[in-house]
Structure 1
Amino acid sequence: MVAAGRRGRGGGAAARADDTAHTGPSATVVRLRNRAVATLGDRLRRVHAIGVLALQAGLAAALAWLLAHEVLHVAQPVFAPISAVSTLAASVGQRLRRTVELIIGVTVGVSVGDLLLAVIGTGWWQLALIVALAILVVLFLTASAAVVLQAGATAVLIATLSPSVGHLEIPRFVGALVGGGVALLVTAVLLPLNPLRVLNRAARPALDLLSTQLDATAGALAEGDAGPARTALTELRQNKDELRAFIEATQGAREASTLSPVHWRERHGPVARYAQAAEPIDRAMRNTGTLIRRAVSLIEDGEPVPKPMPEAVADLAEAVRLLQRQFAVGHEPRQAREQALRAVGRAGHAYREGVGFSGAVVVAQVRTTVSDLLVATGLTQDVANRLVRRAFGELGRSADTNPDG
């Protein structure tokens, strides 16, 4: 029996080993294939997102070379396409500034390099002195890393190549002007970015994060389960990348709508509204963090949760979604305002039904977050506060007969 048992166990182990030999590699292949598909999808999305940048860079480099070589007759116009690509490599919204920095850096590098070469000549220690002095002069004028890089690189070129290549400073300076100017021409006129699309792509993750965590918190309050709210709080705290991308996109959208004649009409309309929303949305996310933290305490402490309270939080999540959708199509976000004020009305009714300490804070944070969202829709802070106070009182009192506020 024992032997049989051992043989049985041994046979089972052998069978498992045999199964592993047959299924293990295929399972590994499946996992690798799934990972490769996921990676391929990520790569394709990345290419799609920056495909326009690649086209802009290629076009700008070609035009800069043609202009410098064929029109201005620069013999070796290598600096022009380099300057064009360098300008386009800057973040969207920083390209005009990058062009100015490029020209300043080249000017300082050329000036310092030419001056010192005439006085101290060439050599390894002269190179060190020229580069160090060029960087120090730039640091005195500005703290921009881009200017420092351009000044140092130009000083190196002047100190090392000027003895063998005459008048190097002229093509270097012309290259900076031509490359930067062509890069701006490409982004503003030939292949302009759509500022609303730039904003939508950057704002969507931040607003999705906010609405999703508010929905999770509303569910946690309705079910009396603090777990989803704790998870929502953790997720919301990891929002720095989304907010930074959104803020950078507002700069890019302003630049695109200012430089591009195609989008001039949008700079005082949808783009301006959308761009001005970044700061109040940042505040709304921070106030939502306090709301969720207090919702966790409310549930854990066993405080009363009036039915309108989770409904108010769910209404707030819907207001964020409406804000995103209406901004995306360039519409005045009136529906988002109405939905946000509906959330305040339900919060007022919850307060009158009776809440504990943490519940009162949740209600207060609903009011504060709605005020932030109203400012994000383009209202002034005073008007937003007045509408919130009115909705909290009037809609709260009428909630029995009109649940929609």
Structure 2
Amino acid sequence: MIAALARGRAGLMLALQSGLAAGLAWFVAHDLFGRPMPFFAPIAAVITLGSSVGQRLRRTSELVIGVAVGIGLGDGIILLIGTGPIQIGVIVLLAVLLATAVGGGAPLIVQSASSAVLVATLTSTSGQPWTRFLDALVGGGIGLAVMSVLLPLNPLTVVSRAADPALRAFTAGLHDVARGLTAGDPAVVQGALERLRAAEGTFAAFRTAIDAARENVAFAPARWRSRGALAQYVEGADQLTYALRNVRVMVRRAQTALNDQEPVPDVLPASIQHLGDAVDLLRQEWDRGVEPLATRERALRAVAESGRAYAEGVGYSGGVVVAQVRTAVADLLRATGIEYAEATRLVRDAIGWRGRPHGARKRQIRPRQS
């Protein structure tokens, strides 16, 4: 019941947008343009809104054009050669060819074809062929206006909902790695690796949501005040993707370390546990819109523990794990808004490298042979 209410609340804005767009599309086409039955106007408006959630403005514009082109083609062909199975086939063929020729993506192609079929099967040949085409343009334009200007989605809500599963999966994967290293169980580490691989999909959705939110903020004056808070997500997303890739390398070496029975100091899984905690803290602090100070503190604690693990003694793969923890922490610090040079300095200080010559650092990080 609670889950159903949460889903309903999440879809409330889309429902409001759809209702407003459908009513406005009918009003404009019927009352302002004098169309007696402009049912394609609200249909196009709702299709535009329903298919544009999380999509970029260019794809949504393609959708509007696709609906209008399909309806226009359908009307024209029916007027010339009537209706029937052959005519439907010809309409779809031409709609797909035209959409492909202009370089349209899947939304344009699909909507051109489906709208043409709708005209060919559900409407009569009476009336002028351009009228339903006009209805579709009106409806699609109203849908875009509602989505971008009149009642835009909150970009922070969109991005936060996309970031939440990505960061939760990242956190869970790191915690599983720590648990597997503590138990000396390569199978648990392998499961964590699979979880982190699956997280790539959630990170892709996160990036898509950021792109959509940036366009929403750019075209919706009512959401301009969200630019500052949204910047945390925009600036940090790439760095989190880099961190995820480095962590996946780390996990593979952790599994190899267990398979080769290398020494694993207790502070090494503790370091990875802290790294997972830091990712989860970032999720919480981003959601609250506060500066991620706790994230930075926990990330630096992770790198300090990795330095202790190296000092206590690790094998070759263990040395790679330590190095990847440091790299992932630097990525995570950059995701919190710290510049590259400062992030590198903080990592070196946390390990205890401050004041050491560069060559000494290089010798220190070389993994030991098991």
**TM-score, with structure 1 as normaliser:** 0.76
Say whether 1:73 aligns with 2:38: no
Number of the residue aligned with 1:204: 164
The residue aligned with 1:244 is: 204
**Matches of 1:217 and 1:158, distance apart in 2:** 56
Match of 1:145 in 2: 106
**SS at structure 1 position matched to 2:98:** helix
Q: Structure 1 unaligned segments of length 5 or more: list them.
A: 1-39, 398-405
Contact 1:344 1:370 in 2 (8 A): yes
Deviates more, 1:120-129 or 1:47-56: 120-129
User: What is aligned with 1:178?
Assistant: 138
Greater C-alpha Rg: 1
Structure 1 contact 161–168 (Cα < 8 Å) conserved = no
SS at match of 1:59: helix
Structure 2 residue ranges without an equivalent (≥5): 357-370
- Alpha-carbon distance in 2 for matches of 1:262, 1:67: 23
**Structure-1 separation of matches of 2:257 and 2:114:** 60
- Counterpart Cα distance in 1 of 2:61 and 2:236: 28
Name the % identity.
46
Q: Is the 8 A contact 1:85 1:183 kept in 2?
A: yes
* Counterpart among 285, 300, 324 of residue 283 in structure 2: 324
Find the counterpart in structure 2 of residue 348 from structure 1.
Answer: 307
TM-score (norm 2): 0.82
Aligned residues: 355
Query: Pairwise CA RMSD of aligned residues?
Result: 3.2
Partner of 2:22: 61
Q: Deviations over 1:327-368 (max 9, x none)?
A: 112223243233323322222232233211111011011022
Aligned-residue offset at 1:241: 4.2
Distance 1:98 1:169, change over 3 A: farther
The partner residue of 2:176 within 196, 216, 236 is 216
Deviations 1:105-160 (A, max 9, x none): 35544665677678x64465455434423321220112412212333345456777
Aligned AA (1:169): W
> Larger deviation: 152-161 or 79-88?
152-161
Contact 1:295 1:359 in 2 (8 A): yes
In 1, Cα distance between the equivalents of 2:97 and 2:251?
Answer: 50
- Assess, with a 3 A threshold, how the Cα gap between structure 1 residues 322 and 161 changes in structure 2: closer, same or farther: closer
- In structure 2, the CA distance between the partners of 1:167 and 1:382, relative to structure 1 (3 Å rule), is farther
Aligned residue for 1:239, secondary structure, equals helix
Q: SS of 1:73's equivalent?
A: coil
2: distance between equivalents of 1:310 and 1:158?
63
- 1:216 maps to a residue whose letter is D
Deviations 1:176-234, CA, capped at 9 Å, x for gaps: 33222322333344433222222222211221122223223324434545454343233
Secondary structure at 1:306's aligned position in 2?
A: coil
1:171 deviation in Å? 3.5
Judged with a 3 Å threshold, the aligned counterparts in structure 2 of structure 1 residues 99 and 169 are, in CA distance, closer, same or farther, namely farther
2:266 is the alignment partner of 1:282: no
Instruction: Indicate how the Cα distance of structure 1 residues 140 and 77 shifts in structure 2: closer, same or farther if over 3 A, else same.
Output: same
| 1:14-68 deviation line (CA, Å, top 9, x unaligned) | xxxxxxxxxxxxxxxxxxxxxxxxxx55444433332322222122212211222
Query: C-alpha displacement at 1:315, in angstroms?
Result: 2.0
Q: Which amino acid aligns with 2:308?
A: H
Q: Is the 8 A contact 1:162 1:168 kept in 2?
A: no
1:42-121 matched pairs, under 5 angstroms: 42-94=3-55, 96-106=57-67, 108-109=69-70, 121=81
